[in-house]
Amino acid sequence: MKAIKLIVLGWLMTMTYAAAQTGLESNTKYGVGEDSIRCVKNLSLYSEDFRNKNFEAAFPAWEIVFRECPAATVNIYLDGAKMLSDKIEANKDAAKFEELYAYLMKVYDQRMEYFGDHPRYPTPAIKGSKALDMLKYKRDDAAVVEEAYGLLKDAVSQLKKSAQPAFLATYMSTAVSMYGAGKIDAATLVNTYTEVSDYTDQVLKDKNRAKYHPVYEQVKSGVESLFANSGAATCEVIISIYEPQLEDNKFDLAWLKRVSQLLARGLCEDAELLYKVSEYQHNIEPSGSSAFGLARMYLKAGDVDRALEFFNQAVDLTEDSQQKGEYLHQMALIHLSQNRYSQARVHALRAIEARPDWGVPYLTIGKAYALSANSIGEKELEKKSAYWAAVDKFMKAKSVDSSVADEANSQIATFSAHFPATDEIFFEGLEVGATYTVGGWINEKTTIRSR
């Protein structure tokens, strides 16, 4: 009888224990017995307040669910992150901020533990979201940036083209920050750029994801801009990374476009890689950057007319006003080198139209005027009048673009010395300060000045 009583007592103790186990203790969704009732009750309470955006009322009940039945539903973590972010935003105390930030990180870590195998948002996606919040709140903390970079790297490499646009864009921007801090080298940044670009291009080719294309187009543009301005996109680095890949990618239009754009932006004008990439790309789909590459190739070979033909194509195929202005100005310089002064001015003016705040084309026009002085008129003063027009352009250059002021001032000093003397002006029946029309191809009004 004594033995039977002990067995029964053990059963009762077991039943009592089983009747009061949390989800955490029992490894179940809601727990067992009274604790399961407590879990479901608090889950319902916090959910109702959360739906009504009454976060303060929802939080205590949410904490009970978070601690006691962590496997109940993934919404615990989605809602918890939202409420903690709200608390962080409203917080003014530094110590409290650290407490709330640590709590938010714990939410992500616990979510990976209990819902890392979620079919739509698995561990890599959770890592990406955690990294975004880390950078949102501690972007100035070098250690946090480095940890976030690692999480984003894992997220993107595992999710591939399924990675959220924010993961792709932030992975690239964080990689640029890491490069700037000396934590990764240029080759690693180039590989990051290539990886992100490949996944972005895959989405943009997928017609089933067409409604997302505008967002990914923005990501693509931002990523290219980040890389181009990172300081890592030097000709040497670009060539060392991409040249060995050329033959394997010569029919991959997205790859060819990416490389030619990088080479064009880096003004890698004499790179053999630019010529080859441009030729392959132009055969598949002509573009501004491919036409530019071919223009530079022919220019290097000394075939000026063929180079100008492809520069014209580059201008017609380019939407970006900065790039268009650059192409037009290069055409102006080619005409200037061939003593085609009128054509040099035409293209320089078109460059100015594309980039009104750029002073360099005005310098080019001024040089064209000065170089053509001997062809203007018959009299000595008529020829020297070209220098008045030239100086006008040099002055205009520095007025619209302070970055060219030093060169403009140097040109002004040089050609002002060639102005006619006061008595020479008087002998021709003219006076200093009067308006004068320069003859010849220049045909422009200016002001009479003496040296």
- According to the 3-state scheme, what is the secondary structure of 304-325? HHHHHHHHHHHHHHCCCHHHHH
| HSE (side-chain half, CA atoms, 13 Å) at 190 | 20
Give the DSSP letter of residue 207. Answer: G
User: In this predicted structure, what is the pLDDT of residue 24?
Assistant: 55
User: In this predicted structure, what is the pLDDT of residue 412?
Assistant: 96
Domain presence at residue 439: no
SS3 content of the chain, % helix, strand, coil (to 5): 75, 5, 20
Domain presence at residue 51: yes
Structure tokens at 64: 């009970």
Give the DSSP letter of residue 74. Answer: T
353: helix, strand or coil:
helix
Dist. CA 312–CA 350, nearest whole Å? 12
Structure tokens at 184: 């990764």
User: In this predicted structure, what is the pLDDT of residue 31?
Assistant: 44
Dist. CA 149–CA 174, nearest whole Å? 6
Q: What is the DSSP string of 152-193?
A: HHHHHHHHGGGS-HHHHHHHHHHHHHHHHTTSS-HHHHHHHH
Dist. CA 21–CA 113, nearest whole Å? 20
Give the DSSP letter of residue 430. Answer: -
Please give the residue range of the domain that contains residue 10: 1-115
In angstroms, what CA-CA distances link 25 with 29, 30, 35, 63, 73? 10, 10, 10, 16, 16
The closest alpha carbon to 203, from 228, 229, 169, 226, belongs to: 169
Count CB atoms within 10 A of the CB of residue 435: 8
In angstroms, what CA-CA distances link 329 with 294, 309, 346, 422? 17, 14, 10, 36
Domain presence at residue 416: no
User: In this predicted structure, what is the pLDDT of residue 6?
Assistant: 36
> How many structural domains compose the chain?
1
Domain presence at residue 104: yes
Domain presence at residue 408: no
Which amino acid does the sequence have at 448? I
User: In this predicted structure, what is the pLDDT of residue 66?
Assistant: 94
Dist. CA 391–CA 375, nearest whole Å? 17
Structure tokens at 150: 């690692």
Element (H, E) at 240: helix 235-242
What is the dihedral sign for C-alpha 188, 191, 197, 202? Answer: negative
* Burial readout 248-275 (b: 16 or more C-beta within 10 A, e: otherwise): ebbebbbbbbbbbbbbbbbebbebebbb
Domain presence at residue 90: yes
User: In this predicted structure, what is the pLDDT of residue 35?
Assistant: 56
User: In this predicted structure, what is the pLDDT of residue 290?
Assistant: 82
Give the DSSP letter of residue 439. Answer: -
The closest alpha carbon to 127, from 114, 111, 140, 143, belongs to: 111
Structure tokens at 209: 């994801």
Domain presence at residue 92: yes
Would you write out the chain's pLDDT as a tens digit for each of its 451 residues? Answer: 344 333 333 433 343 444 445 445 545 565 444 557 888 899 999 999 999 999 999 999 999 999 988 988 999 999 999 999 999 999 989 999 999 999 999 999 999 999 999 988 999 999 999 999 999 999 999 999 999 999 999 999 999 999 999 999 999 999 999 999 999 999 899 889 989 988 999 999 899 999 999 999 999 989 988 988 888 878 888 888 889 999 999 999 888 888 887 787 677 877 888 888 888 988 898 888 888 888 988 888 899 999 999 999 999 999 889 999 999 999 999 999 999 999 999 999 999 999 999 999 999 999 999 999 999 999 999 999 999 999 999 999 999 999 999 999 999 999 999 999 999 999 999 999 999 999 999 999 999 999 8
Dist. CA 437–CA 424, nearest whole Å? 17
Dist. CA 170–CA 226, nearest whole Å? 11
Structure tokens at 58: 């929802």
Domain presence at residue 191: no
Q: Are 119 and 83 in contact (CB under 8 A)?
A: no
The closest alpha carbon to 385, from 428, 322, 321, 340, belongs to: 428
User: In this predicted structure, what is the pLDDT of residue 2?
Assistant: 45
